[in-house]
Chains A and B, each alone.
Chain A
Amino acid sequence: MKAVEKTAVLTSGTVPKESLEILQKYKGGKGALIPALQELQANFGYLPEPVLEEVAKHLNLPLSKVYGVATFYAQFHLSPRGLYVIRLCTGTACHVRGSGAIMQKIRSELGLKPGETTADGRFTLEPVACLGACGQAPVMMVNDDTHGRLTPEMALSVLESYK
């Protein structure tokens, strides 16, 4: 099941059976919270509130603690994410090689502010400080694929290939 479809399931406020199955593995284990959150997020694309409540129950942790951890780490997301996450580098090297213009182009083309997801659930725009690929600047990632030496137009055609 793709993340977009799962998002639709989760908006009903019910807890999907899969999350309970995942949590069975982590029950009672020490240091289980972060791995459990990671696996749940990998499965659903984000961490919906009903799932966090189940995490608290299964791991016998206060919900405030679970929520605190989930909101502390940048890797966790509490709202639905797009099927494709665009990580556009805004670091120094990319900046001097024109990542600002790419950002502008993507923002206006997709109608997104940084951190937002398109209404159709396809793209999430996420500026990052450095991708560690400065030699390819300006660079962006779409999910796990890296695209370098971009121009604004090239960036758009890259996104086009994910539609």
Chain B
Amino acid sequence: MSQVTLTIDGKEVTVEAGTTVLEAARKAAIDIPVLCYHPELRPEGACRICVVEIEGARNLPASCVTPVAPGMVVRTNTPAVREARRTNLELLLANHPQDCFTCERNNNCELQALARDLGIKKVEVKGVRRDLPLDKSGFSLVRDPNKCVLCGRCVRVCSEVQGVSVLDYADRGFEAMVYPPLKRPLDQVACVNCGQCATVCPVGAITERSDVDRVWEALADDKNHVVIQVAPAVRVSIGEELGMPPGSITTGKLVAALRRLGFHKVFDTDFTADLTIMEEGHELLERLENGGVLPMFTSCSPGWIKFIEHYHPDMLAHLSSCKSPQQMFGALAKTYYASKAGYSARDIFVVSIMPCTAKKFEAARPEMNSSGVADVDVVLTTRELGKMIREAGINFAALPEEAFDEPLGISTGAGVIFGASGGVAEAALRTIYEVVTGEELKELDFTAVRGLKGIKEAAVTLKGRTIRIAVTHGLKNADNLLKKIKAGEADYDFVEIMCCPGGCIGGGGQPIPVDREIREKRMSAIYAVDRGMELRKSHLNPAVQELYKTFLEKPLGSKSHELLHTHYQERSRV
């Protein structure tokens, strides 16, 4: 690629042709303020906060959509530029409800930060404020159109990254707003509840539905035995939510914090991740041996499940019948654990901490009541747990390291890697290899399926049979892979699919902001936790072994089918 040299604020900068002025400035350590720009999305040039002066240009171009040119002279910090940015921001603020202190995104809002950084002292313009109804129809997400700044990031992430496109602009001029199709409520459209829109929203226009109050109430009620499960990806992100650097591993502090919040038992979704490997691994072997439907798709990610139900219902038979680890946990907590601990299913209140907004919908699925009542009562995101910890006045960083409770808190490294894209496939391989060959697997790291590449492939030969594996994440990638499989252009035995970019570490319930670098840090933290575990293969988990011996009998047995497996339904595409 050819190189272009230009001058930005008196400094010569050389970048690849096609680079935007904004990116070139960032390379020269000049941070031009942005609002609608997002590094992982196609630039739109909608907000005009990133304007700069370019010699010879008639006006102040938006740097995010202006490509560099040889000899270009750019000034990013002149009185005219500062004035224009302030005016553009003031106009946005004039239409924005100024109720920051009660907003979900208070102190983590890009609009608020811009107002501070650009030195807004007073909003002179009196703008029109509309009073549009909030969309609280769904279990996962809440839309507040009144706070929307029309940056279009949610529209772009929904179509470019997830390929779902349930958000777009409607109407025109002053009436223009982002809506689901036909302005229907979110629960009546083909939204998968992934929450990627919430993670890119610069303001509080799309947030998770908050269920924090329900958990406080459950904890305050003496009649409840409140148990909590924590998803793999949360231990490497809750620290970040509470001000620690991205990738901080805080498993022990997290357990300690949950005890201080008053949960009676602190358990680990990693335990049922190990159990998932036992069930799903055997399901794969069974399909391979008996000519079952292949490739088999993983079923842990509820955004992915809803996606295939809406968009590829003809492929539902490919899905593993295994419930997700969250739902396996709920079913076991209210049966196996309940009887062990002397409770009835109704006495136990199950809370999940998930990196995910779609898990809220999953827990509310009517079929998820194997125990006779809802198996999981409330799902909180990593962000909501952060709020509880702050509200309780817990000094997270200063907490001691504590261990999960037994028996549902015992897990292996194979369980924790469920939190990163490729983890389920790797964990399955570690177990399947030993089950099929009867030999010990020495090299545990299947690095081919790790990382942030969109589609990853691997093949393993077991007793003469080659098992071909694909791993993908982000629904646009998944959609492309499914189309290839349907067209006969790709052939696999086992496909791991995660809804969100990077897998659960990049989930819609994770700390904001997120970008590639942050995902990489969270991902390396997951593999560091795996390396540090005493046991790293699911079938060696002693608590899982005990569960089979005393309760489930064997993988895919009748008890497993009753509690740990599920079915799917076709849903409308529109």
Binding site for B on A (CB under 8 A): 49, 52-53, 56-57, 62-68, 71-74
In the complex, chain A residues whose CB is within 8 Å of the CB of B172? 71-74
Q: Among the listed stretches B13-21, B44-52, B69-77, B175-183, which one makes contact with chain A, having 4 or more residues with CB under 8 Å of it?
A: B175-183
Number of interface residues of B (CB under 8 A): 18
CA distance A74 to B173 in the complex (A): 11
Using CB atoms, name the residue of chain B closest to A49. B182
Residue contact A64 to B171, C-beta cutoff 8 Å: no
Given A71-B171, A72-B172, residue A64 in contact with residue B179 (CB < 8 A): yes
CA distance A112 to B52 in the complex (A): 50
In the complex, chain B residues whose CB is within 8 Å of the CB of A49? 182
Between-chain CB contacts (< 8 Å), 6 pairs = A53-B574, A56-B574, A57-B574, A72-B169, A72-B170, A72-B171
Residue contact B168 to A65, C-beta cutoff 8 Å: yes
Residue contact B574 to A67, C-beta cutoff 8 Å: no
Proximity bits, B114-134, A CB within 8 Å = 1, else 0: 000000000000000000000
Q: List 17 additional A-B contacts (Cβ < 8 Å) besides A62-B164, A67-B182, A72-B169.
A: A49-B182, A57-B573, A57-B574, A62-B166, A63-B182, A63-B189, A63-B574, A64-B167, A64-B179, A64-B180, A65-B168, A66-B181, A68-B169, A68-B170, A71-B171, A73-B172, A74-B172
Residue contact A64 to B168, C-beta cutoff 8 Å: yes
Proximity bits, B398-431, A CB within 8 Å = 1, else 0: 0000000000000000000000000000000000
A34 nearest CB across to chain B (Å): 15
Residue contact B166 to A64, C-beta cutoff 8 Å: yes
Residue contact A62 to B182, C-beta cutoff 8 Å: no
B179 nearest CB across to chain A (Å): 7
CA distance A68 to B574 in the complex (A): 14
In the complex, chain B residues whose CB is within 8 Å of the CB of A66? 181
In the complex, chain B residues whose CB is within 8 Å of the CB of A74? 172
In the complex, chain A residues whose CB is within 8 Å of the CB of B180? 64
In the complex, chain A residues whose CB is within 8 Å of the CB of B210? none
B151 nearest CB across to chain A (Å): 16
The 5 closest A-B pairs by CB, nearest first: A62-B165, A64-B168, A63-B181, A64-B181, A68-B168
In the complex, chain A residues whose CB is within 8 Å of the CB of B167? 64
Say yes or no for B87: interface residue by CB 8 A criterion: no
Interface of A is mostly: helix
Using CB atoms, name the residue of chain A closest to B175. A71
Of the listed residues A64, A68, A72, A73, the one surrounded by the most CB atoms of chain B closer than 10 A to its CB is A64
Using CB atoms, name the residue of chain A closest to B177. A71
In the complex, chain A residues whose CB is within 8 Å of the CB of B189? 63
Say yes or no for B560: interface residue by CB 8 A criterion: no
CA distance A125 to B168 in the complex (A): 30
CA distance A52 to B574 in the complex (A): 10
Segment 145-172 of B: residues with Cβ below 8 Å from A: 159, 164-172
Using CB atoms, name the residue of chain B closest to A74. B172
Of the listed residues B171, B172, B181, the one surrounded by the most CB atoms of chain A closer than 10 A to its CB is B181
Of the listed residues B164, B168, B171, the one surrounded by the most CB atoms of chain A closer than 10 A to its CB is B168
A74 nearest CB across to chain B (Å): 8
In the complex, chain B residues whose CB is within 8 Å of the CB of A72? 169-172
B152 nearest CB across to chain A (Å): 11
Residue contact A62 to B170, C-beta cutoff 8 Å: no
CA distance A67 to B165 in the complex (A): 12
Residue contact A67 to B170, C-beta cutoff 8 Å: yes
In the complex, chain A residues whose CB is within 8 Å of the CB of B168? 62, 64-65, 67-68
CA distance A31 to B541 in the complex (A): 57
In the complex, chain A residues whose CB is within 8 Å of the CB of B165? 62, 64-65
B189 nearest CB across to chain A (Å): 8
CA distance A103 to B159 in the complex (A): 45
CA distance A71 to B181 in the complex (A): 11
Residue contact A67 to B181, C-beta cutoff 8 Å: yes
Residue contact B181 to A62, C-beta cutoff 8 Å: yes
CA distance A65 to B159 in the complex (A): 10
B116 nearest CB across to chain A (Å): 33
